[in-house]
Structure 1
Amino acid sequence: MIKKETVKVNTRMNFSFLVEKEVIVDAVKLVFKNNENIHLTNEPNVIVNKNNSNVNIEIKCKIRKDRNFSFEMKQLIFTIEQKVFSLINTKPININLIYEGVFDENS
């Protein structure tokens, strides 16, 4: 049996649950799928910390040519934080955005 990487989520009740790393990757991809102004250029890299309680996320992306860089990046970070929070009850340790330039939807 292959052991999948998971994040252990403690609740305020007497139980905890596990969230697979792939679920977090899928949630990050969904953020990009729902945002036409930023394109994901590679698979998101999600790294689970040593005690399996949180994650670091590395993302490579491009922004639409005519968009405001600062606004779009802040909105992207906020949305990813909210998606991850909804899964593991905490914000990610770090979101590392690697900006790879612009794209033009006409080309």
Structure 2
Amino acid sequence: MLTPSAEYEAPDLKKDFIVDSTVEHTTNGQTTGPSDHVLQAGAVDRDAPSEASQNAMGSLRSQLTTLQDDINVFLTERMKAQSNEADLDVERRLLDEGVDEDSD
């Protein structure tokens, strides 16, 4: 059976995502569905996925959920890092040059 994978490529980075087929996977993604905060407040996840079937398609489905989680975590961390860099750049310009691009 084939294992799902994905590639991410940006001008400054290339990353391969490969699912480890030797570990158990689930259809209950960590980065999908309501947040823990919402669930603790009493919300019910009516869109929660059913468990994967014990066949090749069920295995593929759960591996794809893991792949999606890995990609979501990576992209979220990357966006946070880029946002922090942009904030630091604006702060540097304000402190060094007294330039505020937002003011007209």
TM-score, normalized by length of structure 1? 0.29
The structure that has the greater radius of gyration is 2
Higher strand fraction (1 or 2)? 1
Q: What TM-score, normalized to structure 2?
A: 0.30
